[in-house]
């Protein structure tokens, strides 16, 4: 059931206005919802975020069940979001082929992207590269292109030539292969699938909303995806996992014997960051008031990956857990009324690092997964057919001609 409750920010205190300013009064009376919390702008069959109970439903499936390591692939998530149900074997294969064909076509375009992939930032690079596609490209082609451009950008940064896609592989295995230049094991491909499925959609998040706003104007799918990539780039949305890894490195730099953090060192580092007025990346969420369920899914994926690699639990996972505990305690002391717990980005950083992806590629890899949701929302928004056009409250000056005579 869609929650139709409209909650709004407390109306802002309005300064006393002169008679010349009263022309804006009708707007002042409307409530201000600057972050749009609780404002319902669409009905969707795609996903629901239950922030109180910490649940994410993806088209009728609980995320912990869907992405819990049971072999659901990125292509399955695309089938679910684009078609409304998990695909059967034949449909799964046809989606796999269509997305692989998208990778092959995108790879053929690499020489015609100008300096798009020269950008220093991976999100700038994929945004510019996707912008070279034109008009209403089908979702499978867009998904294949985002993965190909992201991997080619990573190769360029490493000073290596791009790796051509292998159309016989599913996206997860081929993406790891193209980005790293080395084939992925089945366990690695499976856990990248876990990640991509987990992040494939998430309610009316900022990038999805952006895609829907652009679509609502009647614009094309590529314009909507390009705008969504721009929204996802921000550190408050998809740009957090790189900085999460920087944080873990900074704490590890103060490590004690055997790479384990010295007692209290995570706490001290967190306190120093907060004292400097900085946010702890990977912590807090606009909707969740408990731990983000996706953090648990990804934490288990890291454990599985480490078990199949035959090694002991990595120092990094242990460190991440310790930093999470320290951050949660410090944030709860500072904000006793506002639960700020680990979000998806926290363990994204550890998982993608364990999969051998460079940290600069973390945000683009988020886009590789989220593009499945964007494409589904673009289709849904088109069907809704309603221009999204909210209002603003004017607090600027009044034109001279409109001012009443003294």
What residues are labeled active site? 285, 345
Residue 167's closest CA among 152, 149, 148? 148
How many whole angstroms separate alpha carbon 368 and alpha carbon 56?
19
How many whole angstroms separate alpha carbon 2 and alpha carbon 43?
7
> If binding is defined by CB under 6 A, does position 393 make contact with ligand COA?
no
The answer to whether 362 and 153 are in contact (CB under 8 A) is no
The answer to whether 194 and 41 are in contact (CB under 8 A) is no
Residue in 12, 45, 254, 338 binding ligand COA, rule: CB under 6 A: 338
The smaller minimum CB distance to ligand COA, of residues 144 and 282, is found at 282
Q: Which 137-196 residues touch ligand COA, going by CB under 6 A?
A: none
Residue whose pair of structure tokens reads 């009064």 in the numeric block: 25
Strands 55-58 and 61-62: antiparallel
> If binding is defined by CB under 6 A, does position 340 make contact with ligand COA?
yes
How many whole angstroms separate alpha carbon 72 and alpha carbon 74?
7
Minimum CB separation of residue 198 from ligand COA in Å reads 12
How many whole angstroms separate alpha carbon 188 and alpha carbon 167?
18
The smaller minimum CB distance to ligand COA, of residues 329 and 402, is found at 329
Minimum CB separation of residue 289 from ligand COA in Å reads 10
| Stretch 262-301: interaction string toward ligand COA, x if CB under 6 A | -----------------xxxxxxxx---------------
> If binding is defined by CB under 6 A, does position 7 make contact with ligand COA?
no
Residue 392's closest CA among 31, 37, 40? 31
Minimum CB separation of residue 340 from ligand COA in Å reads 5
Minimum CB separation of residue 344 from ligand COA in Å reads 5
Q: Which residues pair with 202 in a beta bridge?
A: 204
How many whole angstroms separate alpha carbon 359 and alpha carbon 363?
8
> If binding is defined by CB under 6 A, does position 199 make contact with ligand COA?
no
> If binding is defined by CB under 6 A, does position 247 make contact with ligand COA?
no
The smaller minimum CB distance to ligand COA, of residues 178 and 232, is found at 232
Could you list the residues that contact ligand COA (CB under 6 A)? 35, 236, 240, 279-286, 331, 335, 338, 340, 343-345
């Amino acid at each position: 059931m869609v929650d139709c409750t409209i909650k709004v920010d407390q109306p802002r205190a309005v300064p006393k206005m002169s008679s010349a300013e009263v022309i804006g009064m009708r707007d002042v009376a409307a409530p201000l919802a600057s972050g749009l919390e609780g404002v319902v702008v669409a009905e969707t069959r795609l996903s629901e975020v239950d922030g109180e109970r910490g649940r994410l439903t993806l088209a009728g499936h609980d995320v912990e069940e869907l992405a819990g390591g049971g072999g659901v692939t990125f292509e399955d998530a695309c089938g679910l979001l684009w078609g409304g149900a998990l695909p059967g074997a034949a449909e799964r294969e046809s989606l796999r082929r269509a997305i692989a064909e998208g990778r092959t076509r995108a790879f053929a375009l690499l020489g015609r992207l100008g300096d798009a992939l020269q950008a220093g930032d991976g999100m700038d690079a994929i945004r510019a590269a996707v912008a070279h596609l034109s008009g209403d490209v089908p979702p499978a082609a867009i998904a294949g292109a985002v993965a190909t451009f992201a991997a080619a950008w990573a190769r360029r940064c490493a000073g290596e030539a791009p790796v051509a896609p292998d159309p016989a592989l599913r996206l997860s295995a081929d993406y790891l292969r193209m980005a790293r230049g080395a084939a992925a094991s089945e366990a690695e491909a499976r856990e990248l699938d876990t990640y991509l499925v987990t992040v494939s959609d998430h309610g009316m998040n900022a990038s999805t909303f952006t895609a829907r706003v652009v679509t609502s104007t009647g614009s094309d799918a590529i314009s909507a995806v390009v705008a969504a990539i721009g929204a996802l780039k921000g550190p408050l949305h998809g740009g957090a996992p790189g900085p999460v890894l920087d944080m873990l490195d900074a704490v590890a730099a103060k490590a004690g014997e055997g790479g384990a953090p010295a007692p209290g060192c995570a706490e001290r580092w967190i306190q120093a960051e907060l004292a400097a007025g900085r946010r702890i990346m990977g912590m807090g969420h606009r909707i969740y008031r408990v731990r983000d369920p996706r953090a648990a899914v990804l934490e288990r994926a890291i454990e599985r990956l480490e078990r199949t690699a035959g090694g002991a639990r990595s120092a990094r996972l242990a460190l991440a857990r310790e930093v999470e505990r320290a951050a949660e305690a410090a944030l709860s002391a500072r904000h006793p009324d506002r639960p700020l717990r680990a979000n998806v980005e926290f363990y994204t950083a550890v998982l993608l690092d364990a999969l051998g992806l460079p940290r600069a590629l973390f945000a683009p890899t988020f886009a590789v997964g989220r593009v499945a949701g964007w494409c589904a929302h673009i289709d849904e928004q088109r069907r809704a057919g309603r221009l999204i056009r909210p209002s603003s409250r004017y607090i600027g000056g009044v034109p001279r001609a409109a001012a009443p005579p003294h």
